[in-house]
Structure 1
């Protein structure tokens, strides 16, 4: 069990620490992290997901119970955080929506994928593929819609403009490589078409760079960020790092998932908030400091909570 935990988490910690050290030594800057992140999201990760989908039997790819469980966990924590932001913290709708995104959007690409693949094997790409579709098609468009409603930070926005924004978000998701490239792999798997060896090697050489590069970029992004503790940050970590994997566990029980799918769902829920959430906050100039602090503290906490869950889930047969 110790070896399993180390296999899953030691490479993650090492790559993040290397990124932090690169920032500390002024070898690279925050701007370089954005370039690396673009490479991962636009090139490496889509190809890694494509390879996984194309080489996995379609019966395993189209696991509707796993998809339902991930949707329940991701959107459940999102809606709970949205309610907490509005009812407990008395945020306006835009700020509460950003808080919901911070609590509901796990770092599947940077933090989750390397751990899932190390702990579960090649099938670890499945929750990343499905979870990415949930966030791209449901969570992010909903976030854009809510932040453009009339009672948000911009009172002049109306519902029609919000609908227009959501339409644009869905169109953008459809043309995003991280959505349509893996779907091509799903289609290829469904058609039971095998890729020639040289093509698999070509895809693999780029796709295999996703894990290490993404974690290095995460460390570089986090360098220089300050610890910030307040009720919002503590609540966000409680929802994201603890409540979300609990919701995944509830979904596992309700849907009677297999032990393998249970591990995939719960570990996906345990990974910390995605850095993309902070980028959305920066873009809207809303909830920026609390979003960044949640990612910084949540990533540190996530190393330990994920290790504990890997140990606990190792008891499942």
Structure 2
């Protein structure tokens, strides 16, 4: 068990330390993290999600009970955090959207996948793929819409009807590469459409850089700063590492999932916040300190929470 968790966590810490050292040694400026975040959000992450969706067996995508549990767990914790952020912490809608993303977007690909692969085997990657599809189709577009609605520089801010603003920003969100590219992968998978191996390997090469660049940028972002422990950090970590897996477990039992599938959804729920959530904070220049602190500390504590969940599920 300790070896499994160490092998999952060490690569994350290693790359983040490299990013921190690049700032410490003067190789890069802290502001360069914004450029790296743009590369991840606009190119690497959309292509990573696209190739994952394209290579997913269509019959597995159509497992409605499994997908429903993941939707409830992921989007339920997102909407719960959105309400807490808006009505308890009194944040604006843009900040609330970023906080919700931090609390509900698990690091499935770079933290959850290695654990599931060892614990369950190749089948364990199904939850990662379906979970990424849900975040691509529902969570990320909703976050983009809320960010645009809360942007004071938005063309529709302060004017026009709420419905018109939502529809306009939803249309803009759909045009975002991180939304339409993964959705295209889902459509192609369901239609049985394949792409040439030469193109597939090229797309996959770029997609694989998403995790490394995200971690490096986060490490660079931490240079000159110390993680902040406050009510926001504790709330975010508690929501992500404890509440979300509890929602997943309750939904999985209610839908009668098999033990293997129940293991997948609960372990995914206990996975720490995705580095990509921090990239959204950097990209929108909102909630950066709390988001980065929550991700860093939550990832470290994820060793404990993930270990407890694995022990209980086994």
Measured against the shorter chain, the TM-score band is 0.7 to 0.9
Query: Is the aligned partner of 1:271 residue 2:272?
Result: yes
Q: Residue 9 of structure 1 corresponds to which residue in structure 2? A: 9
**How many Å apart are 1:27 and its aligned residue?**
1.7
Asked if 1 retains the 8 angstrom alpha-carbon contact of 2:40 and 2:210, the reply is yes
**How many Å apart are 1:243 and its aligned residue?**
1.0
Query: Is the aligned partner of 1:30 residue 2:30?
Result: yes
| Structure 1: distance between partners of 2:288 and 2:209 | 30
Q: Secondary structure at the match of 1:189?
A: helix
Larger mean CA deviation between 128-137 and 302-311 belongs to: 302-311
Match of 1:112 among 84, 108, 121: 108
Query: Is the aligned partner of 1:136 residue 2:140?
Result: yes
Asked if 1 retains the 8 angstrom alpha-carbon contact of 2:67 and 2:130, the reply is no
User: Runs of 5+ in structure 2 lacking a partner?
Assistant: none
Asked if 2 retains the 8 angstrom alpha-carbon contact of 1:98 and 1:281, the reply is no
| Structure 2: distance between partners of 1:280 and 1:65 | 35
Larger mean CA deviation between 76-85 and 169-178 belongs to: 76-85
Distance 1:190 1:289, change over 3 A: closer
Please tell me the root mean square deviation across aligned C-alpha atoms, in Å: 3.3
Q: Residue 70 of structure 1 corresponds to which residue in structure 2? A: 70
Q: Give deviations 1:77-135, integer Å, cap 9, x for gaps.
A: 2343344446655x2654883585255342x4xx4312233233554333122223221
User: Runs of 5+ in structure 1 lacking a partner?
Assistant: none
| Structure 2: distance between partners of 1:95 and 1:211 | 25
Q: Residue 129 of structure 2 corresponds to which residue in structure 1? A: 125
TM-score (norm 2): 0.79
| Structure 2: distance between partners of 1:296 and 1:115 | 13
TM-score (norm 1): 0.78
Give the paired residue count: 300
Matches within 5 A, 1:78-97: 78-85=78-85, 88-89=88-89, 91=90, 94=93, 97=96
Q: Secondary structure at the match of 1:101?
A: helix
